[in-house]
Amino acid sequence: GKGKWKDFNEKDLLLSYNALKVLEARYLLKDPNTLRYIETPQMLFRRVARFLASVERKYGKSEAEVKQLEEKFYEMISSLKFVPNSPTLMNSETRLGILSACFVIPVKDAMTTPEGDGIYDALRATALVHQQGGGTGFDFSELRPKGDVVASTAGVASGPVSFMKVFDASTDVIKQGGKRRGANMGVMHAWHADIEDFIRAKTGQLKDVQLQNFNISVGAYDYFMEAVVKGESVPLINPRKTKIAGRDHEYYITKARGYMNEEWIQEVILSELEEKGGVVSLDESKVITVDEALVIASKEGAVVRYVNAKSLFDEIVKGAWDSGDPGLLFIDTINRRHPVWYLGKINATNPCGEEPLLPWESCNLGSINLEKFVIERNGKVEIDWDGLAEIISYGVRFLDNVIDANRYPLKQIEDATKRTRKVGLGVMGLARMFIKLGIAYDSVDAIYLSYQLAKFIFYHAYKASIEVAKEKGPFPTYDSKLYRDIWESALDFNSLLQIAEVADKPSDYVKKLTSVVDKLDFDLLKGERLKYGLRNSTVVSIAPTGTISIIAGTSSSIEPLFALAFVRNVAVGKFIEIDPLFLEYLRKYELDDPEVIQKIAESGIIGDNVFMPRSLRKLFRTAHEVPPIYHVLHQAAWQQWNDSGTSKTINLRSEEPPETVEKVYLLAWKLGIKGITVYRDKSKQQQVIYFGVKK
Ligand code: ADP
């Protein structure tokens, strides 16, 4: 009816020009024959809400209840308070049916295997995922090194990096027909014989040339990082040559290759013996120390040679400084804090690092727009904690439904995903929330707010998952005793500051602002979990929100603003694009003259502009002005209350020396971050966004 259309139009006015451009380019459905659009943005949001609510019919909900839920879902998406990840927006109710953004695909040291996890099986799986807009991560460490023998052909192996190039080429081809350019994460663990080739695969001469559809990360274990700090040497290993390799002996190899720290292994083994018949199968007689394992491995000829860990680390740092790759994945931290650690070992993450996943698992994401939860009450600016809790609760229910509505490209992916039912509720608009609350991103107050927000969101997401479990049952592999609550290993706020050697304390203002968080009762929550279980083995995840933050018209993820104004060159001329929140502040100070804005757009920043009000210069620090340590601290704050990963780019100014990268990488490890990536401004040719005007 007429009323309805009026409603549609008004809601579409919430969308920015850029949001409309993005929706038009890739999200709004078109008629395949005429290529004309067959939906408006509101119709898209409605389609998604209807599709994800319809799942509840399977669980015995009445039509009225399903309709009511659809309205809730529609309301939270169309108000831009919650936006699901791109594949859910693109593929809901369509012929293609992948709704998840994140996948990890195993790669075994064989061309193909009956289980479908050989190199070319993985390649096929990857193609199917990319075709529909998902991103894939792989651990290539099981592949035999370059120059090793190939028994069947009496030939010579070409090594993991050369196979990665095949995945890269395939990604290039698929992007031409698919929904968007594919994205991959390639991981190699620090013990692999080809690790040096891997580290150099995207830097120096190969920068901007090789593996352009890959992010790469070195799997760094605690033993490796400790050896770096002490300047000790570490063994490089040929995985084919150790008899102890193989999926059945996961924990055994783990130990044998020096994968894990002793305590962790002890814990696995002890609980295994205690439980008898638990999920992990391990023969006690095979438990040996790392040193003993190395002796065996040497005898088997599996230890290829020893390298100095610090030299290897310097290579990693040099590469990251030069090109942004490789990053690090802290494998021990990931597994220590994996709630369902008893199901196996995690070796890789999805492309941007927010989802450390077991082989074949997928995860779907959705993010809450924090900017929408800054409200004015009695003339004071506050956080709408109740509103936030409500959206978190519906967000988790929505994401859980995505698992049921998903059409999986492969049986292995469906099985692995449904075993653990991982979902990832995240955030965007953090930087704008800070600005609206008058808090500078690079301040201890901001870190404190990050910490408290993360804790609040985790608490309510976990609570929501218990609520869903009450109705629909816990995830199939839920084990009330073995399940590990991440808050038992979360660093407290003061420890973060101490480790980072930051002396400031949070202000009373920010403490008062977040005092509800201090009242959360985690013991009560645990009691509820023990009684009802959890619907999802993980509930939160901080994704980059590259596209959905544009749709929501807010700052991306937990990142600071990137530029306040910049010049966009388009066919019909040059336009200045200015951050709307920044423009509001300029107006307040009567600084919104076109000449002023033009000037600002030249550099994109105001930090160096002595004619700008001091408070504005502090509040509107952009990504490269924020000191690296604050980037890292925000990531660490969010990671403490996150059962998955936290995606973040530590943006560095172009002038930063390699030592900064070294400091950042070491600090990240100490702060319990799961994975770290840096990007130094202008270090690559094809940079998505440039600051200001390029001269
Ligand atoms: P969006 O904003 O589009 O929902 P994000 O930027 O939050 O996506 O990224 C989330 C995840 O989605 C990434 O870590 C990756 O797994 C996947 N992803 C992002 N961009 C792509 C891409 N171009 N191709 C394939 N997967 C992608």
Residues 94-142: tens digit of each pLDDT: 987 899 999 999 999 999 999 999 999 999 999 999 988 899 999 999 8
Q: 550 CA distance to ligand 1 centroid (A)?
A: 13
| Predicted pLDDT at 253 | 41
Burial of 296 (0-12, 13-18, 19+ CB in 10 A): middle
The pLDDT of residue 244 is 43
Bigger pLDDT: 345 vs 270: 345
What per-residue confidence (pLDDT) applies to 44? 97
Annotation says 354 is catalytic: yes
Output the pLDDT for position 237: 85
Average pLDDT over residues 313-326: 98
Note the ipTM here: 0.96
pLDDT at 693 over 70: no
Stretch 643-659: mean pLDDT: 98
- Look at strands 327-330 and 214-220 and give their pairing: parallel
Q: How far is 261 from 219, CA to CA, in rounded Å?
A: 14
Tokens 């002023």, residue located: 596
* Euclidean distance between CA atoms 466 and 468, whole angstroms: 5
Q: Does the annotation mark 347 as catalytic?
A: no
Instruction: Note whether 2-97+362-489+522-532 and 107-175+184-349 share their fold.
Output: yes
Look at residues 185, 83, 124, 286 and name the one whose alpha carbon lies nearest to residue 645.
Answer: 185
161-181 per-position pLDDT tens digit: 999 999 999 999 987 666 677
Distance between Cα 375 and ligand 1 center (Å): 30
Per-residue pLDDT at 620 exceeds 50: yes
User: What integer is the mean pLDDT of 576-593?
Assistant: 94
Check pLDDT > 50 for residue 286. no
Task: Put residue 211 in one of left, alpha, beta given phi > 0 → left and psi -120 to 50 → alpha.
Answer: left
pLDDT of residue 151: 79
Rg value, the chain, Cα: 25
Give the C-alpha separation, 665 to 445, whole Å: 23
Q: Which of 142, 352, 559, 625 is catalytic?
A: 352
Residue 687 pLDDT greater than 60, yes or no: no
Distance CA 692, CA 695 (A): 9
Check residue 298 and give its pLDDT. 67
Domain boundaries, the chain: 2-97+362-489+522-532, 107-175+184-349, 563-620
Nearest alpha-carbon partner for 491 in 333, 328, 676, 664: 333
CA dist 70 → 96, 320, 398, 453, 522 (Å)? 22, 45, 10, 27, 31
CATH of 2-97+362-489+522-532 given 3.30.70.1150, 3.40.50.880, 3.20.70.20, 2.102.10.10: 3.20.70.20
Spatial distance between the Cα atoms of 68 and 54, rounded to a whole number of angstroms: 11
CB 498 within 8 A of CB 491: no
Q: How far apart are CA 471 and CA 308, in angstroms?
A: 54
Predicted confidence band of residue 692 (pLDDT cuts 50, 70, 90): very low
Q: How far apart are CA 203 and CA 128, in angstroms?
A: 29
| pLDDT higher than 80, residue 229 | yes
Tell me which of 91, 184, 347, 350 is the catalytic residue.
350
pLDDT at 300: 67
Q: How confident is the model at residue 10 (pLDDT cuts 50, 70, 90)?
A: confident
Q: What is the mean pLDDT of residues 441-465?
A: 98
Cis status of the peptide bond prior to 114, with omega within 30 of 0: no
Q: Determine whether domain 107-175+184-349 maps to CATH 3.20.70.20.
A: yes
Ligand 1 atom 19: the closest Cα is on which residue?
135
pLDDT at 251: 41
Instruction: Provide the pLDDT confidence category of residue 280 given band limits of 50, 70 and 90.
Output: very low
Q: pTM higher than 0.90 for the full model?
A: yes
User: With DSSP H G I counted as helix, E B as strand and the rest as coil, what are the percentages for the chain, rounded to 5?
Assistant: 50, 15, 40
pLDDT score for 341: 84
Q: Which residue has the higher pLDDT, 611 or 276?
A: 611
pLDDT digits (tens, 9 = 90+) for 14-39: 899 889 999 998 899 999 899 999 99
Pick from 22, 85, 212, 555 the residue to mutate for probing ligand 1's pocket: most ligand atoms within 8 Å of its CB.
Answer: 85
Nearest CA to ligand 1 atom 24: 182
Nearest-CA residue for ligand 1 atom 4 is: 85
Give pLDDT, residue 263: 52
* pLDDT of 270 higher than 70: no
**Model confidence over 555-583: pLDDT tens digits?**
999 999 999 998 877 667 778 889 999 99
Q: Which residues line ligand 1 (CB under 6 A)?
A: 85-86, 101-102, 133-135, 180-183, 350-352, 354, 365, 543-548
Q: What is the pLDDT of residues 40-83, one digit of tens each?
A: 999 999 999 999 999 999 999 999 999 999 999 999 999 999 99
Q: How far is the CA of 117 from the centre of ligand 1 (A)?
A: 24
Nearest CA to ligand 1 atom 11: 101
Q: Verify whether residue 292 is a known catalytic residue.
A: no
Residue 158 phi/psi, 5-degree rounding, is -95, -10
Please give the average per-residue pLDDT across 626-646, as a whole number.
98
